[in-house]
Structure 1
Amino acid sequence: MLPSLLDWAEATRWGIRYAHTRAVPALDIEQIDLLHLLVRERAHEVDPVVREVAQLGADLPAPVVDVTSRKRIVEASLDSMRAIADPHTFTLASASRFPNLVRRRLWAHNLGATTGLYAAKTIGQHELFIPPAHTSGRTWVVGPNLTALVKRLGQRSHDILNGVLSTQLTSRTLFEGLEWVRPYALSLLDTYIREIDGYDKAFMKAIERFSTFLNDANAPVGIEPYDWGNVVFTPRQVRAIYAGQALMAAIDGYCTYITSLVCNAMDLDGAFVEQVLASQVAGHHVILRLTQVLPGMGISRIDATAGYAFMRVIAQHGGVDLVNKMWEAPTTLPTIDELTNPERWMERIGA
């Protein structure tokens, strides 16, 4: 029987090392306590507004929002990835041409680098894929990164903190308030991985792209659309890739849209919040950290703003009620083609 897909302890060590490549603002105990108090107070104010404007998550308990370190974000991200990847150890390891020890250490380094560079920049994260019986549902603000932002922006950081919390708590209303979203996201990844056995050429291509993360965790790592000469996929894999990208684009766009409504309701500078968050990694999809290092996940026919543009169009036609029709079931989600053609989606659902 194969051991775990990679050396997760080594991945954690590398992740923590990369997480501290950016300077961490020094805080004393009193400042840390004040930061925890501030974040919890703001979350208490923001959460009811999110639920009111989103019209979702009314039955959810009060959110658990804590300030955490870059180290803990690395650990939590890798724990989530392990929960996703380890059930597929045999399939994934069999697709690699590297000897077992080399593969385990190579993947540990590169996945650690990915999560570390992400942790060095992200402001907040809603935990998604750790099994629900453990810690799923926590929402975190990364203390050092928020502090650096506060020092840079001064008084305007009040708007940014509220915007970060709005984004993460909106994600929570989807993943914790709707029973099908989390299983659906995982089912798409499962479909993709189950059919990867025998496509080791794709893995070799993915490993070549790992090095891009050493300089920039947000660097594009995919191949050009329809460049099938480099990577081979089954039709089911292609459908899973595009369905996953459509889901993530819809979630990103929805969180941005609801945050804009929250900013209006709380008299915040929405344009400023959107601008700053777009330049940061306000992460609530740890699955992206894994899919970006799997072959083919970079193939996309949409850009990063497609989800928000889609939300704005359908909101103009029917407000939040129409927007929320997306979340009735997987079949009411927009397809990757409908994201750039909202009228086609509205016609399909009978709006």
Structure 2
Amino acid sequence: MASDNFVDYVKIHCRSGNGGGGSRHMRRERHVPKGGPDGGDGGRGGHVIIRGNKQMWTLLHLKFHKHIKAEHGKNGSGQQKTGAEGDDVYVDVPIGTIVRDAETNEILFEIDEDGQEKILKRGGKGGRGNTYFKSSTNQAPDYAQPGGDCEEGWSILELKVLADVGLVGFPNAGKSTLLSVLTAAKPEIANYPFTTLRPNLGIVSYRGSRSFVMADIPGIIEGAHEGKGLGLRFLRHIERNSLLLFMVPADSDDIAKEYEILVNELRQYNPELLDKERLLAITKSDMLDDELKAEIKEELPDVQSLFISSVAQQNLNELKDLIWKTLAND
């Protein structure tokens, strides 16, 4: 998927339909000159409904379609005829989409299943016709109830990428390179920070016909949980990964410290992320000899780790074995 086509954040304005007004019609026929009230109820206004669609991976279709309106309900009429309901409008979104109120930033709901439907803006109720108000003491009410008002406002839709493995690391840690080598994904790769501005997904083929999904997530910087750098825009994607593969380059000044900074950013954002399985890959390890690797091993944090090189194709099969074993035991 081209990076320009991956949209994970949109702001849309939705308006449901007004309810139709009730009818104040009086029955008037040649043989029934004073037939009394026979006004029908108004129809319900259309809802705006968010619906999960497993075939979708992006919110691109909403980027240029930000105003969504449902139909108004029709008015009731004589002979106790109820007005037609306004057509509902369905907004299809990828699984993993969070919907927020744009003013309060409150999470309204999350779409996490294919076909799941949630009403975002509820259509107004149809008004009661005058037939409803007829009683023994009021046999000819000449009034009816107006239709209910619509709901409208701005909402924020955010997408959390769903993947088995999320790559976590500082910018330029080699995440995009690893993804391009292990999968058919073609992320932009360059020797400068923040090459990846959007998550990239790839399917890693494993032994036999098995496979798992890997996500290259934009790089963390210290303070990301406060919104620095790409900040919160990427941290939410990590929430839907089963396993986190931390990546620290072999030429880092302090591998253990860099790992702890990454872990701390996740902790500050959402402590529950630390409940996920974690692995550590020391990237760009083709520049290390065995003696240097032995020295580095003694200072590594207490997490399963592996020295790899995407460019030199070192230990990549071993990495896939370790990932698969960890996923299978999760």
Asked if these proteins are the same fold (TM beyond 0.5), I'd say no
Greater helix fraction, Structure 1 or Structure 2 = 1
Larger Rg: 2
Structure possessing the higher relative contact order (Cα contacts under 8 Å, 6 or more residues apart): 1
Structure whose residues are more often strand by fraction: 2
TM-score (norm 2): 0.24
